[in-house]
Chain A
Amino acid sequence: MLNSRRLVLAHFWMAFGGFGLALLLGAWQMFIRSPLAGWIGNPEWYYRSVTAHGTIMGYVFPTLIAMGFGYAITETSLKAPIAGVRWAWAGIALILIGSIMAMIPVSAGLASVLYTFYPPMIGNPFYYIGVVLVVVGSWIWVALMSINLIRWKRANSGKPVPLAMYANVAGSYLWGWTAVGAALELILQIIPVAVGLRSTIDAGLARIFFSWTLHAIVYFWLIPTYIAYYTIVPRAIGGKLYSDSMARISFVLFLVVAMPIGIHHTFADPMVGAGFKFVHSVFTAIVALPTLLTVFTICASVEIASRLRGGRGPFGWLVALPWNNPTMLAVTFSFIMLGFGGAGGLINMSYQLDASIHNTQWITGHFHLIFGGAIVIMYFVIAYDLWPHLTGRNLANLSLMRLQLWLWFIGMIVTTFPWHYVGILGMPRRMAYYDYTHPAIADQALPVILSATGGLILVVSAALFFVILIRGHLSEKADPGEYRFSVAVHPPQRVPVALNSHGLWVGLMIALTATNYGFPILQLAVRSDTSVPAVYVGVK
C-alpha cells in the first residue's frame, strides 16, 4: 500500500466528488434546453449552471486528478516517500478553499460569466480570486514534482528517470507555464475591474491571454490519460510497452508544441493579425504528431500482449486480446473516441473550415467527446488501477466495471454525435433557449433529444462508478503487492540526457511562447485605445 494513500485518496475523492456534482448540472443543462423541457423563463439559471459545470470540469476536476496521480507516481516510481507532504496538503487545501470561494458567488448568480470569463463581462471578484487560488494550489504541486525529481536524480545520477515520472513532470511543467496566461488575465486585467479599481478592460488582450492557457490546458488534462496509456495499459493487459523512447518523445513534444498554438481559438477575432494565426495553425498541425506516435506505440504494445497470449495472423491477434479486462475495454473505447474527436479537431484547426462551426454546438460536442470521453474514461481506469493500492482492499467486481465503461462509452457517443450534427446545422452554443417550434430549427429537435438521453446514460454510468469505488472501500482486505508500471520490450539502460531531463524542452516552450505570443500581446498592451467599458453582471 502507498504511504501517501491518504493524500492521493483526498485528491481523487475531491476530484470525483466535484465531477459528480458538475455532471448532474451538465445533464440538467442538456435537458432544460432540449424540447423535452419547457422554457425555464430565466436564462440566468442556465448560465449559472454552465459556469459551475465548466469551472469544476475544466479547472478543478482534471487538476486534482493530475495532482493525485502525480503524487502516486512520485512515490511508486521513485520508490521513496514524497518530499514535502505538508506542502502537498497545503496545495489541496488551497484548491478546496478556492473552489468553495468561487462557487458561492456562482451559486448566488453573481458571477454567471462562464468558465472562459468572457470579459468585458465582469462578475463578483470572489469567483476570480477562487480560481486563482485553485491555480496557486496546483502550482505547489508543480514545484513538488520538480523537487522530488531533482532529489531522486541526485541520488541516482545517470540512471534513467522512470517513464511515468518523466511524463508526469513534463505535464506539471506544461501546466505551470500555461496557467500563467489565465493568471495574468485574472490578476492584471479582470480582478482590478471586478474590485472596482478600474472600469474598462481590454477584452481582446484578455482573450489572447486566455488562449495562452486554453490550448495547453487540454493537453494538461490529457497527460494523465497518456501516462495511463503508456505505463498502465500494457502491464494491465499482460503485455509490454513497445518503446520507451517513443513515449518520452511524445511527452516532450507535447511540452514544446502544446503551448504556442492557442491563437487557433481566436481565428474569428479581429485583434490578432492573420500572420500570427497562420503560424499558430502550423504549430497546431504539428501537435498531432505526439498523438499519432502514441496511437502507434500503444497499438503495437497491445499487439505484443496479444501475441504473448498466442494471438496470430495479421488481424487474428485482435481476437486473442483480453476483452473482459476492463482496462482493455477502456483503452479501446478511449481510442475510438480519440479518433472521432481528432477528426473533428482537424476541422476546428483549419482556418477556413473553422468558420463554419465556430461557436456552434459542434464545439461543445467536440470537446465533450475528447475530454469527457477519451480522457475521462482513462481517469476511471487510473482510479480502478490504483484503488486496491490506496485502500488495501480488493476491487473485484469486473463485470460491474465493464458495464460502467460500456455505459460511459455509449452515453458519450449518443451525447456527442448528435451534438456535432446540430452544430453543423448551425445551432449556436451557450444559449439557454431554443424555440424548436420554429420551422428553421425544427429539425434540430430530434438530435437534441437524443443528446439529452445520452446525458442521462452518462449519469447512470457515473453512479455505477461511485458504487464501484465505495464498494472498494468496504470489501475484504487484500494485499495488492507492489504497484508496478509497464515494462518496455527493451527496458532503457541509458537514456540520452535530452530525454532524461526537461530543460531543453522547457526552454523551447518558453522561446516559442515569446515568438508566437510576444508581439500580439505587446501590441495590445501598449496601445491606449483598445479598452471597453466593463459590463457588470449579477442578480440585482
Chain B
Amino acid sequence: MNPERLLSLTNRWFSTSVGLTLVIFLSSAICGFLLLPYADADSRFSGIWDAICNAAGFPVKSSATDIIQPEFKISGATLGLAELTSPSPQSIGRGATLAQQCAICHGPEGVSRADAPNLAGQYAQVIYKQLHDFRSGARTNATMGPFAAHMNDRDMIDLAAYYAYLPRIPSSRDSAEVPLIVASGAPTRGIAPCGSCHGTIERKIGSPWLNGQPAAYIEAQLRYFASGARRNDTNQQMRNIARALTDDEIKAVASYYAGTQ
C-alpha cells in the first residue's frame, strides 16, 4: 500500500481539520474579543486594544480610584499580633495591674456583677480589638471610650493577655437545650450558626467567647448591631445576622449563652 502522508497540506484530512479549527478559533476570538465587547451598551473603551485587554481579563483600574468612604470610623485593629497568642509573663503581670481600674465594672476576677461583659478567659484578640475600637471610635460607649482614650497599644495588649489568662467561669448549662439558631443557624435567612464562630462548633478569630456573658449585655449588643448603633464588625457579619434575627431568637440566644435558660 502506498504510504499516505498525514502531516501534509495535500492530505485532505489534515488541511480540512486544521483549517476548520483555525477558522472556528479565529472567528470566535474576533467575536469574543472585539465584536461583543463593543456590542455591550455600557462599554467605554478608549480603543481596540483596551477592548481586547478587557475581554482577556485584565483588571480594570478605574474603579479602584473612587472608593466610597463610609461616614463612620471602621475598625483598624490588627488581630494577627504574635503577642496576643503567646504573651510573656511580664505582659500578663502588667495587665493585672492595669486591670485594677476595670474591676469596678468587670469584677476583680474578670467576672462582672453589673451586667458588664465577663472578661475572664476571653480571647486576647477580642479584648484587644474592642479596646482598640473604643479608642479609635469605631465602637462607641460612654463608659469605655474615656478609659480607652488614655491607653496605648502596649496597655491594650497587656490587658488582653491578662484577661485571656484568667480562668473562665465554669459552664452550668445543660447542652441538650441548644437553640436551633445556635447549632444550625437559619440558612433560608442567611444566618450561620452562632456556634460556627463563637465556639463549640468552630471558632473564628476575632469572635468573642459568649458562654456566661450576661443576658442583658448580649441582648443589648444584638439590638445595637441590628439598629446600626454598633458597627465595628468590619465585614458586617453581626449586623447582617442581627437584622435577620427575630425578637424571640435574640432572647433565646441571650439567655442560652448567659446560662439562665
Contact = CB atoms under 8 A, between A and B. Distances in A.
A257 to B, nearest CB: 9
B72 interface: no
A52 B29 CA distance: 40
Given A282-B28, A441-B188, A273 B13 contact: no
A498 interface: yes
Contacts of A503: 6-7
A464 interface: no
A286 interface: yes
A520 B57 contact: yes
B31 interface: yes
Given A520-B57, A523-B56, A274 B24 contact: no
Nearest to B54: A273
Among B4, B54, B57, the one with the most A-chain Cβ atoms within 10 Å of its Cβ is B57
Interface residues of B, number: 32
B4 A496 contact: yes
Contacts of B33: 275
A519 B55 CA distance: 12
A97 interface: no
A24 interface: no
B237 to A, nearest CB: 16
A42 B56 CA distance: 42
A433 B187 contact: yes
A519 B57 CA distance: 9
Contact of B21 (A256, A438, A499): A256
A440 interface: yes
A494 interface: yes
Interface string B23-57: 01100110111001100000000000000101111
Among A42, A271, A496, A520, the one with the most B-chain Cβ atoms within 10 Å of its Cβ is A496
B14 A440 contact: no
Contacts of B169: none
A286 B184 contact: no
A515 B25 contact: yes
Nearest to B203: A540
Contacts of B102: none
B134 to A, nearest CB: 28
Given A274-B57, A286-B24, 18 more contacts: A256-B17, A273-B54, A274-B32, A274-B55, A275-B52, A275-B56, A278-B32, A282-B24, A433-B187, A434-B187, A435-B187, A494-B1, A497-B5, A497-B11, A498-B13, A498-B17, A512-B21, A520-B57
10 contacts: A272-B57, A275-B29, A275-B32, A275-B36, A276-B55, A279-B25, A435-B187, A498-B17, A504-B7, A504-B14
In the A-B complex, the 9 residue pairs with the smallest Cβ-Cβ separation, listed nearest first, are: A273-B57, A275-B55, A278-B32, A498-B13, A282-B28, A275-B32, A275-B33, A158-B1, A438-B188
